[in-house]
Amino acid sequence: MDRKRTVVATAALLAGALALTACSTNRTETGGASGSSCDTSKGTLVVGFVAPLSGGLSALGLGMKNSADLAVNQANQACKVPGYKLALQAEDDQATAQIAGQAATKLASDPNVVGVIGTLNSSTAQSVAPILGQKKIVEISPANTNPSLTQGDNPASPSRPNPTYFRVATTDAVQGPFAAQYLVGKAGKKNIAVIDDGKTYGAGLAAAFAAEAQKRGAKVVAQEKVGEKDTDFSGVISKIRPLNPDAVYYGGEYPVAGPLSKQLAAAGLNVPLMGGDGIQDETYVSLGGREGDLATSVGAPADQLPSAKAFIDAYSAAGYKEPYSTYGALTYDATNVLIQGVTTAVGSGTFSNTTRDALLTAVQDTNLDGASGKVSFDQYGDTTNKVLTIYSVQGGKFAPVESGEFQAS
């Protein structure tokens, strides 16, 4: 999670961007560049967006929204969809499945919504994907990692449950084992306590980690659960402390992980806590995350990728108040995949519900040089890019340790 940049430029530095907020909606309509001769006579097409824009995970959601906004702005300036202007309509799901479902229903009722970027949480995606699928509306997630969203509930016999759903983030079927590969094989941890928050993302990630850690010879001394809104972890800590773990793996997100790390140390368990992309945020450290704690995240660090330089420079110039976050480059790519698909599907014609099959085919056939690297999808709608990165808290922030792919033991 790339929360390393503080954006200080003003919005005026984004050449020619014109943002108009439509009345009584979250839609931001973005016109062409100053003096642009773009033909927008066919009207406005809407790029939907669903993620937490308030609450504990808003640091991630706002960075995602801004990155999608940047891609829409640039597309309008370049007249990417002939005859049309694009508008971003961002909906706040508050990281809650029910609210996410309501947002999806709202977007699905608008015939001008060409597709939806999001969600952040796998649990919210479980609500959103079927609703959008009923209307053949493409969804592309920059952040969902639970494998069941694309391959169903039986890993031994994968079957795609949501044909209109895609993602540019690799899954926990890879991320969990990748963490175990490092923590057991390179960090040398052999007695590991595993804790998760019981949610779709956290529980799935923890299970994948535990299975691989045991395959690699580690002992999982405990498997415990906490609530996503818990603040006192003395109960679970008292259970694992006598077992003398040399590391704790947490499946969940930073609002719990940071305080949990702090309370582990206060209880005398001065061992590293490791988690997935849900904890790899600067906020984790401010909430109590400690030096030497570890996290995995999808992809390689954007600020170390030559392919992401143009995105980072444009984001900085745009003057967004929030950093682009872990999923910024991935969101930018997801939005550009959708825009490219719309351009291909519409051609010189017009967009309507009859265009949705062509749009779905265009997205499935994506071959894009994105900010995060090559973007393409397999038969399940999963990204073919399986790169992940290990991060360690160093000097009060997450620093990348190494990037690579999971190597089966």
pLDDT in tens, 211-243: 999 999 999 999 999 999 999 999 999 999 999
- 409 pLDDT band (50/70/90 cuts)? confident
CA–CA separation, 336 and 248 (whole Å): 38
Cβ-defined contacts of 270-273 (< 8 Å, 24+): 271/245, 271/246, 271/247, 272/187, 272/189, 272/247, 272/248, 273/247, 273/248, 273/249
pLDDT for 9 equals 36
Mean of all residue pLDDT scores within the chain: 92
Question: Which tokens in the block code for residue 48?
Answer: 């939907």
Choice among 30-39, 90-99, 134-143 with the minimum mean pLDDT: 30-39
Identify the structural domains of the chain with CATH numbers, from first to last. 11-170+305-375 (3.40.50.2300), 172-298+388-404 (3.40.50.2300)
pLDDT for 27 equals 61
CA–CA separation, 3 and 6 (whole Å): 8
**To which residue do tokens 């690699």 refer?**
216
Contacts with 165 (C-beta within 8 Å, 6 or more apart), sequence order: 125, 129, 132, 133, 139, 141, 149, 150, 381
pLDDT for 4 equals 36
pLDDT (tens digit, 9 = 90+) per residue, 34-86?
446 899 999 999 999 999 999 999 999 999 999 999 999 999 999 999 999 99
pLDDT for 19 equals 37
Q: How many Cα atoms sit within 13 Å of 344 on the Cβ side?
A: 18
Question: Which tokens in the block code for residue 227?
Answer: 């609530």
pLDDT for 16 equals 36
CA–CA separation, 287 and 305 (whole Å): 29
Q: Are strands 27-30 and 84-92 parallel, antiparallel or unpaired?
A: antiparallel
Q: List C-alpha distances in Å: 73 to 37, 76, 88, 175, 318.
A: 15, 5, 9, 32, 10
SS (H, E, C) the chain: CCCCCCCCCCHHHCCCCCEEECCCCCEEEECCCCCCCCCCCCEEEEEEEEECCCCCCHHHHHHHHHHHHHHHHHHHHCCCCCCEEEEEEEEECCCCHHHHHHHHHHHHCCCCEEEEEECCCHHHHHHHHHHHHHCCCEEEECCCCCCHHHHCCCCCCCCCCCCCEEECCCCHHHHHHHHHHHHHHCCCCCEEEEEECCCHHHHHHHHHHHHHHHHCCCEEEEEEECCCCCCCCHHHHHHHHHHCCCEEEEECCHHHHHHHHHHHHHCCCCCCEEECCCCCCHHHHHCCCCCCCEEEEECCCHHHCHHHHHHHHHHHHHCCCCCCCCCHHHHHHHHHHHHHHHHHHHCCCCCCHHHHHHHHHHHHCCCEEECCEEECECCCCCECCCCEEEEEEECCEEEEEEEECCCCC
pLDDT (tens digit, 9 = 90+) per residue, 342-358?
999 999 999 999 999 99
pLDDT (tens digit, 9 = 90+) per residue, 259-303?
999 999 999 999 999 999 999 999 999 999 999 999 999 999 999
CA–CA separation, 138 and 366 (whole Å): 13
- Cα dihedral: 228, 231, 236, 242 (round 10): 140
pLDDT (tens digit, 9 = 90+) per residue, 137-181?
999 999 999 999 999 999 899 999 999 999 999 999 999 999 999
Phi, psi of 114 (to 5 degrees): -85, -30
- 28 pLDDT band (50/70/90 cuts)? low
Question: Which tokens in the block code for residue 305?
Answer: 């990728």
Q: Is residue 85 within 8 Å of residue 43, measured between CB atoms?
A: yes
pLDDT for 26 equals 60
pLDDT for 7 equals 35
pLDDT at 2 over 70: no
